[in-house]
Amino acid sequence: MTNIGQLERNLLVVAGIIMLHGVAAVSLAHGVINYIALGAICSIFAGFMLVNTLLRRMGHAGDPLLLPLTALLVSIGLTTIFRLRPDLFLVQVIWIGVGLSVFLVSVFLSRRLEQVAYFKYICGFIGVSLLLTAIVFGVDIGGHKSWVIIGPIRFQPSEFAKIFIVLFLAAYLSERRELLTHATRHYGPLVLPHPRFVAPLIAVWGITMLMFILQRDMGAALLYFGIAILMAYMVSGRLSYVIIGLVLFLIGSVICYKLYSHIQIRVDIWLNPWADPNGGAYQIVQSLFALGSGGIMGTGLTYGFPGMIPEVHTDFIFAAIGEEMGLMGAGAVIIIYIILIYRAFRASLLSIMPFSMMVAGGLAVSMALQIFLIIGGVIKFFPLTGITLPFISYGGSSIVSNFILLGMLFSISEVRCYDAK
Amino acid sequence: MMRNDMNHIADNIRKVALGLVGLLLSLLIYLSYIQVVESEFLATHPLNRRTAEIARMIPYGMIVDRHGDKLAYSQREGDVFKRKYPYEAMTAQVVGYDSSTYGKSGIEGTFNSYLTGNNNAMAHLGAISHLFANKAGNNVVLTLDVKLQEIAYKALGNHRGAVIAINPRTGAILAMVSKPSFDPNQIDQEWKSISTNENSPLLNRVTQGLYPPGSTIKVMIAEAALKEKVIDLNRTIDCEGILKIPPDYTLQESHLESYGKINLTEALAVSSNVFFGTISLELGRSKMANAFERFGFKQPVSQELQETASHLPNFSSLGNGDLAQTGIGQGSLLVTPLRMAMLASSFANKGVIMKPYLVDKITDPDGTVIKSYSQEEWLTVTSPQLAEDINKMMIKVVESGTGKSASLPGIIVAGKTGTAENAQGDSHAWFIGFAPANNPQIAIAVIVENAGYGGSIAAPIARQVFRAALQ
């Protein structure tokens, strides 16, 4: 166990050096050493080390890669935000500090994760309420209505809703896994489970369609629907769920495409951004210019022009990384995410309880899909959606919710260690 | 059962994990495609403002005249450098403009890569390339003499028109004026009025304006007639003011004067239409076509000057009337002022046309010459003897003929006037010539649009330029 703690600490030091180096490089390129920024970076590093020490002292034996990988992503994110929006840098540092504390709380609470299964309907209710809040009270910022503003607080409920939805689905599906697998009805060539058991899936589909239409948030809609379908598949192993799900989503999408001009515009922009490069396709075209100008090696930090991309510090931060750090940097980000997701699935696979197995699997799916949708949108692999890049994009909701998610994964990954002893 | 069940779920999770990692790997592949294969296309796309922005981070090189006077330079304004043109409208079409919105023109455009010091060789090194980046662009040294440019610009007054002065021995362009002009410092603010102005201030009339040459072409016709031996210096033709060309065409002297029996020298001095119409007909279609070809009117002279091609009639199908018209510079013949200055310089330089050039050399910010453009012979159009003969005739034009108002005390000036009728209203006034005739230093072409007689409007402008150049 000390070995694991030591490994984690060493890896955190590597991530810390990268963080320090990134902020120092941006600072030096501007010709002034920003001591406040360097101080802030040191406190973040100290924060990570403190979390490591606290967890290991208290005998926690979670996956030693999760925290260092996150620290690496946070380093890249902070460096990029410091370069793009120095005015938001300290705010982001504070959010990461909050995130680390929330991570600790999340780790401790998740040790009794199995008990959450009893409150699955509450989780489901909270998740759906959060989504509905966004739909009903959503304010349009940057093209999609995913923000809720309550007095001085503004947050994106969908970032938090995914955790509750995953918890609910994990509990519901793992309880009913046999019914889902075996109790089927035959409709001609189709083999379907009894409608009662797929009701929650239909409900999630309904909500995501609402998000699609009312919130113009195609990314979040696809994210939630994808989570639901893939979790159902995990439990049942029935590919027909995935296929039926995709067909349903496709039908919904085609109907929406026919009915709503804003969805048509999104798709048309994706298919041919060069038709209107200064109009609707401006953002994606600028993003492609940034990536192309960066090339393999990048222009070097502060030597690019990512400022030409609107919303670059939130939804389009990946394009800024691609421009100034090149394929080397942007590719590294994708690889770090792949390793992180691999570790998340590993935690799931090594879990001994079906519920925690499903929770970790669901969280891994949610993270992977979110990363795929946003990076795919930024590089025009996929129609553009408005979601954040976990641990890198600027924004409190995203940082805090992802640290909660990470805490749960960490906690699940340690369960098997106790088991192994 | 429980264990089996768990294994079953684990298998499914493994499949989902593989699928999702596959999705992320496909992103990595697509990203590599964008940043490696598509990189060049995207980085150099005309809508990608980055190249222009990078260029704005360092000062561009200067554009200077032959004496080092700055015609264009970069000045820091806040974080970026802005282009300044101290001579404003005077050198606008030659030096060009530089606008982030409307692009570049003139030397700013054609020598952009030198001026910005763009060095793409190191670009693939990423951040390391900044160690080798240029701190400033290279300077472009022109052959232009901005003092002479100023004299010519002022001499044109408020007329539309153009003046070009060349050193006939080297081809170096000493002055290149086109009016009306515009202030390149104000290009962004005043683009709309500049670009839509019906007098086309953006047009460099010297290289892009096409005009009928009128009587100035007679110097070439005289050379052709002598070379082809359809006439000698002694033969006279009776010029009675009108030349009837069957079936139904008549050519007249401009004021129906009757010059009587005159030889070639006298005919050029008074610019007799009847005389040159007659010898054009005697020359015939193929020898006329041959003369235009010999003097290079059919071939482009220089990429950098971006000259508009001359418009020549289709000689083989030309009627007699139109042939005679071409011989006096009318009909469908259209040429640029640059070509007429080159025609004048051929007689000043013993029958050899030097390639006209505007850029003398490129120097780096420390003053080291990176590239220099040496003088270059373009065409040998006639023999030294015939050039000398035409030279003498052109001296007569200024001494006692239509070009008197180009004469200067103590300097022998050679020239030829022209009054070109055109479809756009009053005649264009022309003057071509060179000085001193016995040791030519400067050859010139002046055109003043819709201003009347070449002898009274264009010749005095040429005289001012000659005087300034030969002081």
Residue B35 at interface with chain A, using a CB cutoff of 8 Å: yes
Interchain proximity A292–B27, CB inside 8 Å: no
Interchain proximity B43–A292, CB inside 8 Å: yes
Interchain proximity B126–A299, CB inside 8 Å: yes
Nearest to B428 by CA among B115, B165, B40, B159: B159
Burial class (CB in 10 A: 0-12, 13-18, 19+), A9: middle
Q: Which amino acid is at B77?
A: E
Distances (CA, A) of A259 to A105, A212, A252, A255: 45, 12, 10, 6
Q: How confident is the model over A308-366, as pLDDT tens digits? A: 888 888 889 999 999 999 999 999 999 999 999 999 999 999 888 889 999 999 999 99
The per-residue pLDDT of chain A, averaged, comes to: 86
Contacts for A248-253: CB closer than 8 Å, 24+ residues apart: A248/A205, A249/A205, A249/A208, A249/A222, A249/A225, A252/A205, A252/A209, A252/A212, A253/A212
| Contacts with B100 from chain A: Cβ below 8 Å | none
Give me the pLDDT at residue A417, please: 46
| Contacts with B35 from chain A: Cβ below 8 Å | 291-292, 294-296, 322, 326-327, 330
Q: For residues A267 and A274, what is the distance between their CA atoms, to the nearest angstrom?
A: 13
Q: SS3 for A338-371, per residue?
A: HHHHHHHHHHHHCCCCHHHHHHHHHHHHHHHHHH
Interchain proximity B9–A291, CB inside 8 Å: no
Q: How confident is the model at residue A419 (pLDDT cuts 50, 70, 90)?
A: very low
Peptide bond into B365 cis (omega under 30): no
Nearest to B23 among A308, A331, A372 (CB): A372
| Nearest C-alpha in A relative to B10 | A349
Q: For residues A319 and A403, what is the distance between their CA atoms, to the nearest angstrom?
A: 23
Cross-strand pairs, A69: none
Which string of b and e fits B316-325 if b means at least 16 CB within 10 Å? eebebbbbbb
**Which residue has tokens 């023999």?**
B383
Residue B40 at interface with chain A, using a CB cutoff of 8 Å: yes
**Which residue has tokens 């109009």?**
A279
Nearest to B454 by CA among B404, B394, B382: B404
Tell whether the model's pLDDT for residue A120 goes beyond 50: yes
Burial class (CB in 10 A: 0-12, 13-18, 19+), B161: buried
Please give the model's pTM, rounded to 2 decimal places: 0.68
Nearest to B30 among A292, A341, A381 (CB): A381
Per-residue pLDDT 10s for chain B (471 aa) are 456 777 888 999 999 999 999 999 999 999 999 999 998 889 888 888 887 777 677 788 899 999 999 999 988 887 778 889 999 999 999 999 988 778 888 999 888 878 877 644 455 677 777 776 667 788 999 999 999 999 999 999 999 999 999 999 999 999 999 999 999 999 989 999 998 999 999 999 999 999 999 999 999 999 999 999 999 999 999 998 889 888 788 888 888 888 999 999 999 999 999 999 999 999 999 999 999 999 999 999 988 888 999 999 999 988 999 999 999 999 899 999 999 999 999 999 999 999 999 999 999 888 889 889 989 999 999 999 999 999 999 999 999 999 999 999 999 999 999 999 988 889 999 999 999 999 999 999 999 999 989 899 999 999 999 999 998
Interchain proximity B9–A358, CB inside 8 Å: yes
Residue B79 at interface with chain A, using a CB cutoff of 8 Å: no
| Contacts with A236 from chain B: Cβ below 8 Å | 12
Q: How confident is the model over A84-115, as pLDDT tens digits? A: 999 999 999 999 999 999 999 999 998 888 88
Residue B121 at interface with chain A, using a CB cutoff of 8 Å: no
Tell whether the model's pLDDT for residue A421 goes beyond 50: no
Q: How confident is the model over A123-142, as pLDDT tens digits? A: 988 988 888 887 777 776 65
Q: How confident is the model over A20-67, as pLDDT tens digits? A: 999 998 988 888 888 999 999 999 999 999 999 999 888 888 899 999
Taking only residues 200 to 259 of chain B, the set having a beta carbon closer than 8 angstroms to any beta carbon of chain A reads none
Mutate to test the interface with A, among B6, B27, B100 (most CBs of A within 10 A): B27
The per-residue pLDDT of chain B, averaged, comes to: 91
Residue B37 at interface with chain A, using a CB cutoff of 8 Å: no
Nearest to B43 among A295, A335, A381 (CB): A295
Q: For residues B170 and B377, what is the distance between their CA atoms, to the nearest angstrom?
A: 8
Interchain proximity A285–B47, CB inside 8 Å: yes
Nearest to A300 among B6, B124, B126 (CB): B126
| Nearest C-alpha in B relative to A25 | B127
Q: Provide DSSP, B22-85.
A: HHHHHHHHHHHIIIIISHHHHHT-TT-THHHHHHHHSPPPPEE-TT--EEEEEEEETTEEEEE-
Nearest to A354 by CA among A242, A241, A235: A235
Structure tokens that stand for B11 in this block? 């298998």
Interchain proximity B35–A322, CB inside 8 Å: yes
ipTM confidence:
0.93
